[in-house]
Structure 1
């Protein structure tokens, strides 16, 4: 046992030396290692170091070391609070599109049921995890609620709440996780039914969803931002699990009004309010939830790319409204619909997995 510990310590010192050399050597990238011997040894010790190593990368000679939690670099955050291990194509497309359009930003995908070992999920049984982990900037992480809420204003609430008595538990839990993760790690939070169509600029911003409500499906904030801390405190103080949206859009709206000192948020559209920009809904909601079926109308595209590009030229992303569209089945491939266009252009790897 002593010899094993000694060997491990020697290897650990070697790792530190190599990493230090790498950081000082501008000819090597800070994240990627093409050293075969280092790769082999690191894989042998992966279990002891508790690192997740993905072989699903391109080029094949590149290895990515993915930590058990986000790094200090803010990224784009996606969450899956259900126990699903085979996310639907829309989830895959949302994450793939964000990864492709923001190649220099980490894409964090938290999954409740994920064990932390990418290699345990192989095709054909699993599609999403192998596909998403093939992108060098996608980092799939376990979602541990107790760990996430620890040392936050929601820690006490989570210990006391009884999910079996909650009417909208999945929604409430999702609202809690998105604000907490953004407060802890910073960056941009996106719902998993939002397909990116442009690179995203990081900053402090909230999106208008309607004339009277702001959105909680898209949020941009720096780490430990006081606005989000106010939201987390409000979450606990005004908690009402029986009111859908109380901890979601309503919470963001009432706290933004308080932050800006106004009952009319529209006066701040395209403007900053104490360091937070209030952006118009067309940036992320070009098609309203009341007409969500437009995304699935057949023969609307008809290979007229220019017309679609013009129609959505002002948008950064499109919200597909899965809480409405997810209850129905639609053919995507060959439908010549808007959704087929977005899949084919912005998440082509996911598109290839779709059946005709």
Structure 2
């Protein structure tokens, strides 16, 4: 009887210790994906860690100019699709004296690279590079965070890799970051040196940001990297993107009201209104792709919310069709069946 009770108690202790051990592991950068398991298969980003067959120069040790605009392609397709090519072309056309850097986290394939080079080769300010994520994070506060596989600890590996890398690039070099689902209509050089923009009344967005190499830009960049290091979460969609810049500015500007964030309250950092970068909110993203006209003359950038709109077909005569024809005419002519022309 005593022996049975001892065995039962031993089993209980082993189970309890196993649970505690699992909880401890899940709260470190060594965490497996156990608590992210759900019915959808997780995105495969093993391409981020491949080093063979690179056809692009490495960005890991490049020193970029502070007059740089960064795009990050974090899927494994090895090239740019129509919307992404339009984003890069529209930016290159409106910023001829800036470096436009497209950073791939996966090896680019020769075929897609040739296609993109034909499209964007006319712009001498467009550069393609390969990022090796572990090496790219070296000599930064996120070195161990990335090396220990934190970018795998999420349900949205492609998006959250992009979230982390945008702040990492701005921390390392300064400059401007843009999402690859934008159309750029006006030069951004006329804006203040350090800025982001509200996407709503409760959040500052991370789809377009500028952190310069001055004191204000360094302060925001360093605070963003610290926030990622200590507050990263893989179970909340926007936590590591807009969540980071929103939390940083709430602290820096001493207000939780994003409408009160100005250069005056934020010590020189500007938070622009959504009409300049996000004139159509994500809930109405379909408006970009349906036939009709929208009067959005204030916008510097049109963000088309690809996460929500990627399956929408672009109708001829739609706002996005008109934007593409106007601001990325080369992509518009090459990707005939993608811009509402059939």
Calculate the TM-score normalised by the size of structure 1.
0.72
User: Distance between the aligned counterparts of 2:314 and 2:106, measured in 1?
Assistant: 28
Q: CA RMSD in A?
A: 2.4
Cα drift, residue 151 of structure 1: 1.1
Counterpart for residue 110 of structure 2: 121
In the alignment, structure 1 segments of 5+ residues that lack a partner are: 1-49, 53-65, 302-307
Structure 1's 266 and 140: CA in aligned 2 closer, same or farther, altered over 3 A? same
Higher relative contact order (CA 8 A, sep 6+): 2
User: Distance between the aligned counterparts of 1:153 and 1:81, measured in 2?
Assistant: 21
User: Distance between the aligned counterparts of 1:130 and 1:113, measured in 2?
Assistant: 20
In the alignment, structure 2 segments of 5+ residues that lack a partner are: 1-54
Cα drift, residue 163 of structure 1: 5.0
> Deviation string for 1:42-81 (max 9, x for gaps)?
xxxxxxxx996xxxxxxxxxxxxx9973533421110001
Counterpart for residue 139 of structure 1: 127
User: Distance between the aligned counterparts of 1:259 and 1:162, measured in 2?
Assistant: 26
Counterpart for residue 93 of structure 1: 86
Counterpart for residue 325 of structure 2: 344
Structure 1's 278 and 163: CA in aligned 2 closer, same or farther, altered over 3 A? closer
Cα drift, residue 105 of structure 1: 0.7
2:163 to 175, 198, 205: 175
Matched, 1:320 2:308: no
User: Distance between the aligned counterparts of 2:134 and 2:162, measured in 1?
Assistant: 14
Aligned residues, how many? Answer: 277
Matched, 1:160 2:148: yes
Structure 1's 331 and 267: CA in aligned 2 closer, same or farther, altered over 3 A? closer
Given that residues 255 and 261 in structure 2 are in contact (C-alpha distance below 8 angstroms), is that contact kept between their aligned partners in structure 1?
no
> Deviation string for 1:119-162 (max 9, x for gaps)?
x8358x85224312331110111112112211111111112225
Structure 1's 291 and 269: CA in aligned 2 closer, same or farther, altered over 3 A? farther
SS at match of 1:243: coil
Counterpart for residue 217 of structure 1: 207
Counterpart for residue 204 of structure 1: 194
Given that residues 68 and 175 in structure 2 are in contact (C-alpha distance below 8 angstroms), is that contact kept between their aligned partners in structure 1?
yes
User: Distance between the aligned counterparts of 2:264 and 2:273, measured in 1?
Assistant: 10
